Amino acid sequence: STIHSLLVLPLQEIFNCRIQYVGRFSVKDAIYHEQFYELCYRTRAGERLRVVLVMGEQMLLRAAGLLFGMDFYEVNDIVCFAVQEIAQNLMQRAASALGRQPDEYQLKEGRFLAQAAFSALFQERSPEYSLLFHVGQESFALCIDQALPPAA
């Protein structure tokens, strides 16, 4: 399937573990100590893309640790950088798989969101893609939206 080839396989390569696509993510899905990280991208032509990663804090710290080969015990600027690097790697792989330039989407902003801000993002309409994944006993989600209003 497309989700498997564009997301699951690259994520498994990045994290070196088995990742299972479960289905559509809903705010009712429990993710222990969830953190919301929003990444906003733009193409040279002005197209916009938003990806929100919903991941438990411990999983987020482990992901950063895998990237840098060290342990993290709290979310800090280095962990934020790791999330951005992982997302950029995934974006480049997906673009290449779709026959697009790997650097077509450039990161413009990355930031953590509070629960209320995350809910407000999708209050009027759901994201185009809202995907839930399992890694062992833990879960994480990706909310992806291309149909964004023009930037102010």
Buried/exposed 103-138: b ≥16 CB within 10 Å, e otherwise: ebbebeebebbeeeebeebeeeeebeebbbbebeee
State residue 103's pLDDT score: 80
Residues 39-87 have pLDDT tens digits of: 999 888 888 889 999 999 998 998 899 888 999 999 999 999 998 988 8
Whole-angstrom distance, CA of residue 132 vs CA of residue 140: 6
Contacts of 82 (CB under 8 A, 6+ apart): 63, 64, 67, 68
User: In the beta sheet, which residues pair with residue 138?
Assistant: 135
Q: Residue 21 CB: number of other CB atoms within 10 A?
A: 14
Q: Residue 48 CB: number of other CB atoms within 10 A?
A: 17
Whole-angstrom distance, CA of residue 9 vs CA of residue 17: 10
Whole-angstrom distance, CA of residue 9 vs CA of residue 31: 22
Q: What is the pTM of this model?
A: 0.86
Residues 10-33 have pLDDT tens digits of: 888 877 889 999 999 987 788 889
State residue 6's pLDDT score: 84
State residue 149's pLDDT score: 60
List the one residue out of 99, 141, 112, 147 whose CA is nearest residue 126.
Answer: 147
Average pLDDT of the chain is 86
List the one residue out of 60, 55, 63 whose CA is nearest residue 29.
Answer: 55
Residues 94-147 have pLDDT tens digits of: 777 777 787 888 889 999 999 999 988 887 778 888 999 999 888 999 998 886
Any idea what DSSP says for residue 99?
T
